Amino acid sequence: MAYAAPELADLDRAARAALDAQTIELPSWAFGNSGTRFKVFTSPGTPRDPFEKIADAGQVHAHTGIAPRVSLHIPWDLVDDFGALAAHATEHGVAIGAINSNVFQDDDYKLGSLCNPSARVRRKAVDHHLRCIEVMRATGSTDLKIWLADGLNYPGQDDLRQRQDRLAEGLAEIYAGLDDGMRLILEYKFFEPAFYATDIPDWGTALLHCSALGERAKVVLDTGHHAPGTNIEFIVAQLLRVDRLGAFDFNSRFYADDDLMAGAADPFQLFRIMHELARAGALAPGSMINFMLDECHNIEDKIPGQIRSVLNVQEATAKALLVDAAALAAAQRDGDVLGANAVLMDAYNADVRGLLADWRTDRGLPADPMRAFAESGHLAKIAAERTGGTQAGWGA
């Protein structure tokens, strides 16, 4: 029959290698409480410290096999002994990934961090990043991820251009502080928490700053950080073309930076993004692009929320790898609009869940990670064990 579900054997060698090599980095903060300005709901068993967050991340990797790293957020994940934290991670089968700075939760940052009109505050913000680099050294992390909340709420509040200049200056000092082999990865965001102007609102701005810094500065693309209607896969293609795509923050959105589970809001968009990556060879083993999640599990359970997200990214990837590239190129060359679209949709419409269940079974992983985790009783276990103390959260 024509529509038999694809099997592992349907992937060519390069596609299979890409699937096998894929990893998704988990955000430590996804295991803590998060929410909206209206309410942060809690859930039993939520981690109370970075060690428990990493343990939970280990569960995601244990069930999916493709989530071997955890990003930290400083100061949320500050510990006295990062060596102990790294060892703890190893015990749970994962490693420390990118280090995220945080220069938006101190009262000093009310009017910005690296862009602040006050030289004192800018100094403080640069110093925080230099300390993050120390954490990188202590944990073996190679990516310093910078997202700034800097921006303005009112026209006239500050000088848009001077803020760019201050930003460039601060980034330059931070970049200079990196060791060889470390990267600075710079995130942009359309709006929130600033509501009139954001100092790095788009990929163009992030790229300008990265280009000014040097080769080891790359752009982070958060799939929820764009204006309504933005074609994200175009940006992916463009950043790949100029070799400046450093990392992804995957999540999904219907409205703004909703931080929903990746693939939940627009699975077709996620597939198109993965297809641009596949088409450019950026999923191949050795790619320097860090695929991370950045999500808020406001109402759903956190560990299975992460598992679901990882699986959604993997499913989109498998579909993208199934695209018949030769047929697609031929239809495109012929200007066959319907034919070219059909080649892409053929892969999207395929059901790859069986193929991926086989892939997991081959590795001794559970065929159905969601069910396996549910049946493991882990949520009940941590709910019972983690009593007392203060649950981790954003501390906003």
Task: List all residues 6 or more positions away from 14 whose beta carbon is below 8 Å from its beta carbon.
Answer: 284
DSSP label of 393: B
CB of 305 to a copy of itself, least distance (A): 7
The closest alpha carbon to 208, from 153, 234, 182, 171, belongs to 171
CB of 81 to a copy of itself, least distance (A): 28
Nearer to a copy of itself, 9 or 299 (CB): 299
Helix (H) or strand (E) holding 218: strand 217-222
Q: Of residues 299-338, which lie at the interface with a copy of itself (CB under 8 A)?
A: 299-301, 304-305, 308, 315, 328-329, 331-333, 335, 337-338
DSSP label of 185: E
Given candidates 12, 91, 134, 241, which one binds a copy of itself under the rule CB under 8 A? 241
Write each residue from 35 to 54 as x if it is in contact with a copy of itself (CB under 8 A), else as -, in one continuous string. xxxxxxxx------------
217: how many CB neighbours lie within 10 A of its CB? 25
DSSP string covering 134-170, please? HHHHHHT--EEEE----EESSTTSS-HHHHHHHHHHH
CB of 326 to a copy of itself, least distance (A): 13
Residue 361 binds a copy of itself, judged by CB under 8 A = no
Q: Which amino acid is at 278?
A: A
Nearer to a copy of itself, 5 or 176 (CB): 5
Whether 141 contacts 111, CB under 8 Å: no
Q: Of residues 203-222, which lie at the interface with a copy of itself (CB under 8 A)?
A: 203-205, 207-208
How many residues line the site for a copy of itself (CB under 8 A)?
112
Whether 93 contacts 61, CB under 8 Å: yes
Q: How many helices (H) and strands (E) does the chain have?
A: 14, 10
Q: Of residues 64-93, which lie at the interface with a copy of itself (CB under 8 A)?
A: none
Q: Of residues 262-281, which lie at the interface with a copy of itself (CB under 8 A)?
A: 264-268, 272, 276, 279-280
β-pairing verdict for 197-198 and 151-152:
antiparallel
Nearer to a copy of itself, 99 or 210 (CB): 210
Residue 231 binds a copy of itself, judged by CB under 8 A = yes
CB of 337 to a copy of itself, least distance (A): 4
Residue 367 binds a copy of itself, judged by CB under 8 A = yes
Residue 155 binds a copy of itself, judged by CB under 8 A = yes
Given candidates 80, 120, 181, 229, which one binds a copy of itself under the rule CB under 8 A? 229
DSSP string covering 281-316, please? TTTSTT---EEEE----SSS-HHHHHHHHHHHHHHH
Nearer to a copy of itself, 51 or 104 (CB): 104
Q: Of residues 281-300, which lie at the interface with a copy of itself (CB under 8 A)?
A: 298-300
Whether 71 contacts 99, CB under 8 Å: yes
Given candidates 238, 287, 376, 391, which one binds a copy of itself under the rule CB under 8 A? 238
Q: Of residues 168-197, which lie at the interface with a copy of itself (CB under 8 A)?
A: 190-193, 195-197
**Secondary structure E strands in 56-104:** 69-73, 95-100
Whether 64 contacts 25, CB under 8 Å: no
Radius of gyration of the chain (CA): 21
Nearer to a copy of itself, 139 or 317 (CB): 317
Whether 249 contacts 294, CB under 8 Å: yes
Residue 201 binds a copy of itself, judged by CB under 8 A = yes
Nearer to a copy of itself, 25 or 158 (CB): 158
Whether 250 contacts 293, CB under 8 Å: yes
Cα–Cα distance, 49 to 47 (Å, whole number): 6
Bridge partners, residue 72, by sequence: 99
Q: Of residues 88-127, which lie at the interface with a copy of itself (CB under 8 A)?
A: 104-105, 107, 109-111, 117-118
CB of 144 to a copy of itself, least distance (A): 20
Residue 376 binds a copy of itself, judged by CB under 8 A = no
Nearer to a copy of itself, 89 or 207 (CB): 207
Residue 375 binds a copy of itself, judged by CB under 8 A = no
